[in-house]
């Protein structure tokens, strides 16, 4: 039987804040986060102090900036790899 329209048009569920899965079980990527200049400023400043955040620090920073801990964690991961790449080039 065809699904009622409201059932049919539900947005895909967000699983663990990372992946959305539609009815067919196909994984969709979450659109990439756009950070505000204020958030980037704070993240970059923090990165200059330390490249690695402890869990409570990450939680606090995320709360201050209105981001999820996952977003902060991944930003730091990406920043570290970018930083290492730049360092390798000299």
- List the CATH number of the domain containing 58: 1.10.10.60
| Position with higher pLDDT, 87 vs 10 | 87
The answer as to whether 30 is a domain residue is no
Give the whole-angstrom CA distance, residue 77 versus residue 63.
18
Range of 57's domain? 37-88
Distance of alpha carbon 26 from alpha carbon 45, whole angstroms: 38
Note if the pTM is more than 0.85: no
The tokens describing 72, both together, are 């902060």
DSSP 15-30: ETTTEEE-TT--EEEP
- What total number of domains does the chain contain? 1
Residue with tokens 């709360």: 63
Residue 83 structure tokens: 């930083």
| 13-53 tens-digit pLDDT | 444 454 556 666 777 888 889 999 999 999 999 999 999 99
User: Do the domain assignments include residue 32?
Assistant: no
Q: How far apart are CA 65 and CA 83, in angstroms?
A: 22
Q: Please check whether residue 23 lies inside any domain of the structure.
A: no
Residue range 40-86, pLDDT digits in tens:
999 999 999 999 999 999 999 999 999 999 999 999 999 999 999 99
């Amino acid at each position: 039987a065809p699904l009622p329209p409201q059932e049919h048009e539900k947005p895909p569920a967000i699983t663990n804040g990372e992946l959305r899965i539609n009815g067919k079980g196909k994984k969709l990527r979450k659109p990439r986060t756009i950070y505000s200049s204020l958030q980037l400023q704070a993240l970059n400043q923090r990165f200059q102090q330390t490249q690695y955040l402890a869990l409570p620090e990450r939680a606090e920073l995320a709360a201050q900036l209105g981001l999820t801990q996952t977003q902060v964690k991944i930003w730091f991961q990406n920043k570290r790899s970018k930083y290492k790449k730049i360092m390798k080039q000299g």
